[in-house]
Structure 1
């Protein structure tokens, strides 16, 4: 992460260390370690305090730079909000696109500065631009709260229209039938489990065996990208034997490697591609399994509320979202229809 000149730097040391992150400053042309920390966030918090206490920040407190704002905001945001490691990584990736703003005082940032950041992302995806805009909105909300600025132009940022390069699609019945015929082949079971549960790939990768109730045959999703994603999914009888077979293998996760670590996204993507080649379904992507589940549920007239509960979609309607509660038995009846 780039910082303003003279602000010091944070590095991660190699090896298995209890405190792998080090904050360093330049003294007489040489880098000097000022402290070691267990996490990057602790190092960032110390960096801000160190520069402030030593009078090394170049601007007055109410004119902090964009980089200093980010360094102050992130630890506070994580402390008071429940955010996942992947979300934090997303913030860090989005921040790198804002290099144009790093040395600019927050109080002097105008709409043109913010739009320049987005325009500078060129042909990058709509989703990437949206993440950067969301980060800027969070930062300026914090800046206004702390009275670093009285302006917030983030609502004026334009990121264009969403034009999916690879729109998702549901798998055909023929493709699903071919999967069942090859169910004994390596990793085909993973694709079938995704189709008949509607899980996101990240939810399956994070799924621990302790999250599976074998007696009542359901999955409890405790880690998801949204709050609505935390839910219970009945395990359809069609895939129960597949889940049981995976459950009997070594490791704490339903899907894990030889060392007991959960599958990475890249590994799951690679095996998905291999399975798709077996059925000549190279056009399909991992997320298409969720669309397939949604399509199958819709085809058998599962009501919208039950479908959203199974898939982990938000329910904005007050009646459906608050007062209607589907029990496990009703959800199981819905999932068994497919």
Structure 2
């Protein structure tokens, strides 16, 4: 490892031994064109450290646009179809048009931050959408570093827009009960009952099969989901922890028993043309209920029940909020909802915790001091 002067060009260069390749052939790193000896030595020490730490990246002209198709292809092995479509849309519409021409090894943190500013000012994207794009670019660069296409991840330390958390809208116990009472006579009542007793996502409810319900142990397993467009059933949940088992109340099981008898009668009535997908929530022909049709019914019933209008996903928030207010352990709530970490549960429902803590303090105080006074 030595710095030398190129007498012909009047510049400095260095050569570093970098071990051997897979064929046992000697590898060398050669860099030239430095104006001063000091500059050459500084770069030589930097490269030597990278070689020692196995982080050295051989210079390449590979651009971000070159890399993204490869990265998206690898992500297709893990991501759900809808999520992959969202990623691909952001890559093609926002990321590649603005950053695609730049070489991976030359992109800087400052450049990434300017990219986010441009997305806000020029493209008019919301802070939440920019955060989603940030996650995509960050993940892509993490993969590029692992594959030795880039020496470091410039996205890791980039500042992102602050996302203001939307105020969560949920029903209280009376409103939830009022809605269920009105919905009880509708064919899709079991879907709303499951939403308000288990906190399942819409896609999970519409993908639920009869074989996923364990009547003996009074529980159901979340294993299959229906796509957003209602065209595809897939044995793949949102995340690894989304595949879970949820205990059911006896009254919910009773409703499911009645609903199954209705479904079986429908199947027998039109057996030749019935499409048996084993779905709990299905049409009279056995086909999946389209998400948009479920939502149309949901909003009609909300109006009829005269309760505050909320999104279907807010039924999930309602379940979590009511459980936490009922002092159910956050870890249990986390498992029911299928969150990957209890910190996610606590973060999302942090607004509930102060009142929970207050009630807990009162109950514990009553228990402690009542016991103390009785022993005097």
Alignment of 1:78-97 (within 5 A): 78-79=76-77, 82-95=78-91, 96-97=93-94
Task: Provide the C-alpha distance between the structure 2 equivalents of 1:272 and 1:61, rounded to a whole number of angstroms.
Answer: 57
- Report what 2:176 is aligned to: 176
Q: Once the 2 structures are TM-superposed, how far is the Cα of residue 226 of structure 1 from its aligned partner?
A: 2.5
- Report what 1:63 is aligned to: 61
Change in CA separation of 1:116 and 1:256 when aligned onto 2, cut-off 3 Å: farther
Task: Provide the C-alpha distance between the structure 2 equivalents of 1:210 and 1:111, rounded to a whole number of angstroms.
Answer: 51
Kept in 2: contact 1:187–1:275 (CA 8 A): no
Kept in 2: contact 1:228–1:313 (CA 8 A): yes
3-state SS in 2 of match to 1:210: helix
Kept in 1: contact 2:260–2:280 (CA 8 A): yes
- Report what 2:203 is aligned to: 202
Task: Provide the C-alpha distance between the structure 2 equivalents of 1:258 and 1:68, rounded to a whole number of angstroms.
Answer: 49
- Report what 1:227 is aligned to: 240
Task: Provide the C-alpha distance between the structure 1 equivalents of 2:170 and 2:202, rounded to a whole number of angstroms.
Answer: 15
3-state SS in 2 of match to 1:156: coil
Please point out which of 74, 82, 105 is paired with 2:72: 74
Q: Once the 2 structures are TM-superposed, how far is the Cα of residue 145 of structure 1 from its aligned partner?
A: 2.3
Q: Once the 2 structures are TM-superposed, how far is the Cα of residue 137 of structure 1 from its aligned partner?
A: 1.1
Listed one character per residue, the Cα deviations across residues 225-281 of structure 1 (whole Å, up to 9, x for unaligned) are 232222111121232233334444254222234664434443333332222222223
Task: Provide the C-alpha distance between the structure 2 equivalents of 1:293 and 1:267, rounded to a whole number of angstroms.
Answer: 22
Change in CA separation of 1:106 and 1:245 when aligned onto 2, cut-off 3 Å: farther
3-state SS in 2 of match to 1:219: strand
Task: Provide the C-alpha distance between the structure 1 equivalents of 2:257 and 2:115, rounded to a whole number of angstroms.
Answer: 50
3-state SS in 2 of match to 1:233: strand
How large is the Cα RMSD of the aligned pairs? Answer: 2.7
- Report what 2:230 is aligned to: none
Q: Once the 2 structures are TM-superposed, how far is the Cα of residue 136 of structure 1 from its aligned partner?
A: 0.6
Q: TM-score, normalised by structure 1?
A: 0.66
Change in CA separation of 1:301 and 1:97 when aligned onto 2, cut-off 3 Å: same
Listed one character per residue, the Cα deviations across residues 182-232 of structure 1 (whole Å, up to 9, x for unaligned) are 211343442222010111222212222221223323110124323222211
Q: TM-score, normalised by structure 2?
A: 0.60
Kept in 2: contact 1:168–1:287 (CA 8 A): no
- Report what 2:213 is aligned to: 212
Task: Provide the C-alpha distance between the structure 2 equivalents of 1:118 and 1:263, rounded to a whole number of angstroms.
Answer: 39
Change in CA separation of 1:148 and 1:180 when aligned onto 2, cut-off 3 Å: closer
3-state SS in 1 of match to 2:281: coil
- Report what 1:132 is aligned to: 133
Change in CA separation of 1:245 and 1:104 when aligned onto 2, cut-off 3 Å: farther
Task: Provide the C-alpha distance between the structure 2 equivalents of 1:68 and 1:260, rounded to a whole number of angstroms.
Answer: 45
- Report what 1:28 is aligned to: none
3-state SS in 1 of match to 2:220: strand
Give yes or no for the alignment of 1:296 onto 2:296. no
Q: Once the 2 structures are TM-superposed, how far is the Cα of residue 143 of structure 1 from its aligned partner?
A: 1.7
Task: Provide the C-alpha distance between the structure 1 equivalents of 2:118 and 2:258, rounded to a whole number of angstroms.
Answer: 49
Change in CA separation of 1:185 and 1:163 when aligned onto 2, cut-off 3 Å: same
3-state SS in 2 of match to 1:120: helix
Kept in 2: contact 1:107–1:148 (CA 8 A): yes
Task: Provide the C-alpha distance between the structure 2 equivalents of 1:287 and 1:200, rounded to a whole number of angstroms.
Answer: 7
Give the aligned length: 255
- Report what 2:150 is aligned to: 149
Please point out which of 316, 338, 345 is paired with 1:312: 338
Listed one character per residue, the Cα deviations across residues 104-156 of structure 1 (whole Å, up to 9, x for unaligned) are 22233223432233233335344322221111112111222222222421023
Structure 1 stretches lacking a partner, 5+ long: 1-59, 318-338
Q: Which is higher, the Rg of structure 1 or of structure 2?
A: 2
- Report what 1:238 is aligned to: 251
Change in CA separation of 1:258 and 1:63 when aligned onto 2, cut-off 3 Å: farther
